[in-house]
With several copies, the nearest count.
Chain A
């Protein structure tokens, strides 16, 4: 058994805090690494120790395997947890950990390399008898090869990064004329995101459901699946909303897909937590896409319906402990939904940056928040726009939806734009509420304005404008605003602190 007393968390934001929370609850110390602009970030404050490993660009900090390993050794860590993104799917990290005598909390470098190469993973699936989507088995060497593949498969096709997931380096191509520029963009993104420009191609299924199975595998041969997550609400191959269980699965299909997922894990000699992604068509046929050899962003929905703390299980597995439950012990209770709160414009989804000036977070029955921000936090362009995840549990799906809507209405983040208004519309859309949706849903959700809300908002704007005009005429400046708020005045009633 590898006793773990101190863990270096090679990540930032909400997932770093999620992992540190698990450590703290297990009595394990946690060590943060950070880039210099993250000195004030919450994960630095949350950790027991913190080490600066470089400047803001991740390539010079969060992607530096050498610095991560050095810091783990310097700070006396026994283990490294990569989170998701950054180095999470880079086999160089588990290799370097092994060499340095550190436990890597995740799969072995070998399984990771196998699965991280999406073309090899597809071959593994075929050999294990799991159905796959038609496409190339090798990375594309140039645009001519892509054109040849398109001729064989027909359009539309999907270009995907062989080196990683998370929607980066992915392009859908519907017209032959767009193939070249899409391939260039995908290649550039893949190089920047994964340090690996390889792109492969597969047939693009129109509007499938995106369903994934969570799996836990220990070092003693025990492999348990924790049912599925429905991840079809996506925009540009970035998931926006996830839920568990999926409306499209019944017990029988869940068992079959769970069994296929277990097969994939066993065939790739995989251990620790992993996710097997499938596309599910409207006829109930499913196709293996890939294995995400890491903790997923959306793991909390599975935790809420099963009661299992997946991060703690990861740590236990890495310590060499057997799973404390078998497949029969896993029962699903209620329904869970996750909304990804991103620093983006809710309509255009363009990134938004700024400082969080006010924050009021939702809570109450059935609400869980995984957040990387706090008041005073600066959202920069350097990192992923995912700033928080709002997750709810309900006794059934309709309670979960009502609860999510209620929680979204409570959530106030000032200083940046977020996707909260999009999620609110989604929770009220016929498509989401019915459960009859697929990956085309985001385009279908409408953004009608509520008449009374626009009127109240307009009145509020006029009142504040009137007050500000009075202040400006009175010779006071914007800078003295906070000072002004200390007084009880005639005019708009002010916060007194």
Chain B
């Protein structure tokens, strides 16, 4: 089975195969793009893996959140979307062109700075979200027209809730 593992611009085709399982570790043969790697993998805690790639030692944390895998190693954090090779292509087809601005954190909508139909330019403030006692202005990721503002001042929002949709 092969997976397409993507983070931002980077994309890897990875096919892990378990070749041996001993009392202390699992041995994998991993085909990554065109090269083959031999790995020993063992779990220290549910999300904490110790990986030996050849003999290089890596501590890796893998946390799943929905379809994203957040992976940390030596203090660097990567967020990957992992898809089965076949599912991948259908998903790509459904992606649309609009920009959906979602709440990056839970918080309180203290002020909305734009209305439906407004023209906005990249970096312009859309609304102010209060979280952890700080007022955070949420900027437009690009220029466009505000199509929808499904929240109101005073609303409490959770991470991922849609705040503004820009065409």
Chain A interfacial positions (CB closer than 8 Å to B): 31-32, 36-37, 39-40, 44-51, 75, 168, 181, 185, 188-189, 192-193, 236, 345-346, 348, 350-353, 357-358, 374-376, 381-385, 408-409, 411-412, 414-415, 417, 420-421, 424, 449-450, 453-466, 468-469, 481-482, 485, 488-495
Q: For residues 64 through 118 of chain B, which have their beta carbon under 8 Å from a beta carbon of chain A?
A: 64, 69, 71-78, 80, 82, 84, 104-107, 110
A351 partner, pick from B45, B75, B84, B131, beta carbons under 8 A? B131
Contact for A458 among B76, B80, B105, B134, CB less than 8 A: B80
Task: From the candidates A49, A348, A382, name the one contacting B55 in the complex (CB within 8 A).
Answer: A49
Q: Which residues of B contact A482 (CB under 8 A)?
A: 46
CB nearest to A464 among chain B residues: B62
Taking residues whose C-beta sits less than 8 angstroms from the other chain, chain B's interface range is 35 or more
Q: Which residues of B from 118 to 151 have beta carbons under 8 Å from A?
A: 125, 128, 131-137
* In contact, B76 and A449 (Cβ under 8 angstroms): yes
Complex alpha-carbon distance, A350 and B101, angstroms: 14
Identify 4 new A-B residue pairs, CB closer than 8 A, beyond the known A39-B24, A455-B12, A460-B49: A352-B105, A421-B77, A450-B76, A459-B37
Interface SS of chain A: mixed
**Residue in contact with B50 in the complex, picked from A45, A412, A464, A466, CB distance below 8 Å:** A45
Flag if A384 contacts B43 (CB, 8 Å).
no
Q: Which residues of A contact B52 (CB under 8 A)?
A: 44, 50
Query: Which of the residues A31, A168, A494 comes within 8 Å of B134, measured between beta carbons?
Result: A168
CA distance A384 to B64 in the complex (A): 26
Q: Which of B60, B75, B110 is in CB contact (< 8 Å) with A460?
A: B60
Let me know if A494 and B43 touch, CB within 8 A: yes
A409 to B57, CA, bound (A): 14
B: residues with CB less than 8 A from A are: 1, 3, 5, 7, 10, 12, 14-16, 18, 21, 23-26, 28, 30, 32, 37, 39-53, 55-64, 69, 71-78, 80, 82, 84, 104-107, 110, 125, 128, 131-137
Let me know if B105 and A455 touch, CB within 8 A: no
Instruction: Decide if A463 touches B107 in the complex (CB within 8 Å).
Output: no
9 A-B residue pairs with Cβ-Cβ distance under 8 Å, sorted by A, are A49-B56, A51-B55, A351-B107, A358-B47, A374-B44, A408-B75, A450-B76, A459-B39, A490-B18
A77 to chain B, nearest CB (A): 12
Contact of B14 with A37 in the complex, beta carbons under 8 Å: no
Given contacts A453-B76, A493-B24, contact A48 B56 (CB under 8 A): yes
Contacts A48-B56, A460-B60; A39 near B42 (Cβ below 8 A): yes
- Whether the pair A421, B39 counts as a contact (CB closer than 8 A) is no
* Known contacts A39-B24, A39-B25, A490-B18, A495 near B44 by CB under 8 Å: yes
Q: Are B50 and A44 in contact (CB-based, < 8 A)?
A: yes
Q: Which residues of B have CB within 8 Å of A409? A: 74-75
Q: How far is the CA of A458 from the CA of B25 in the complex (A)?
A: 20
Give B71 Cβ to nearest chain A Cβ, in Å: 4
Ranked nearest first, the 10 interchain pairs of A and B with the lowest CB-CB distance are: A457-B71, A462-B14, A39-B24, A461-B69, A424-B75, A465-B82, A460-B60, A458-B5, A49-B55, A351-B132
- What is the minimal beta-carbon distance from A32 to any residue of chain B, in angstroms? 7
Chain A residue numbers with a CB within 8 Å of B46 are 358, 481-482, 485, 495
Is A44 in contact with B105, judged by CB distance below 8 angstroms? no
Of all chain B residues, which has the CB nearest A30?
A: B57
| Complex-state Cα separation, A348 to B139, whole angstroms | 12
Instruction: Report Cα–Cα, A55/B125, bound state, in Å.
Output: 33
Q: Tell whether, in the assembled complex, residue A357 and residue B12 are in contact, meaning their CB atoms are under 8 Å apart.
A: no
| Nearest A-chain residue to B30, judged by Cβ | A459
B74 & A412 in contact (Cβ 8 Å cutoff):
no
Contact B55 A75, beta carbon cutoff 8 Å: yes
Q: How far is A391 from B64 in the complex, measured between Cα atoms in Å?
A: 31
Nearest-neighbour CB distance to chain A for B86, whole angstroms, equals 13
Question: How far apart are the CA atoms of A44 and B49 in the complex, in Å?
Answer: 12
Shortest CB-to-CB span from A459 to chain B, Å, is 6
Q: How far is the CA of A300 from the CA of B41 in the complex (A)?
A: 34
Q: Which of A48, A412, A449, A492 contacts B26 (CB 8 A)?
A: A492
Report the separation of the CA atoms of residues A489 and B46 in the bound assembly, to the nearest whole angstrom.
14
Of B69, B105, B134, B137, the residue contacting A464 (CB under 8 A) is B69
Query: Which of A36, A376, A421, A453 gathers most chain B CB within 10 Å?
Result: A453
Q: Which residues of B contact A417 (CB under 8 A)?
A: 77
Q: Which residues of A contact B59 (CB under 8 A)?
A: 45, 412
Query: Which residues on A sit within 8 Å (CB–CB) of B53?
Result: 456, 459
CA distance A421 to B61 in the complex (A): 14
With contacts A351-B105, A381-B132 known, is A358 near B75, CB below 8 A?
A: no
A142-B41 Cα distance, complex, nearest whole Å: 51
**Does B133 contact A168, Cβ atoms closer than 8 Å?**
yes
Bound-state CA distance A238–B36 (Å) is: 46
Question: Are A188 and B135 in contact (CB-based, < 8 A)?
Answer: yes
- Give the Cβ gap from B75 to chain A, nearest Cβ, in Å: 4
Set of chain A residues within 8 Å of B43, measured between Cβ atoms: 485, 492-495
Q: How far is the CB of B145 from chain A (nearest CB, A)?
A: 22
Complex-state Cα separation, A216 to B14, whole angstroms = 52
B50→A185 contact, CB < 8 A: no
Q: Are A357's CB and B44's CB within 8 A?
A: no
Instruction: Assess the A192–B57 pair: CB atoms within 8 A.
Output: no
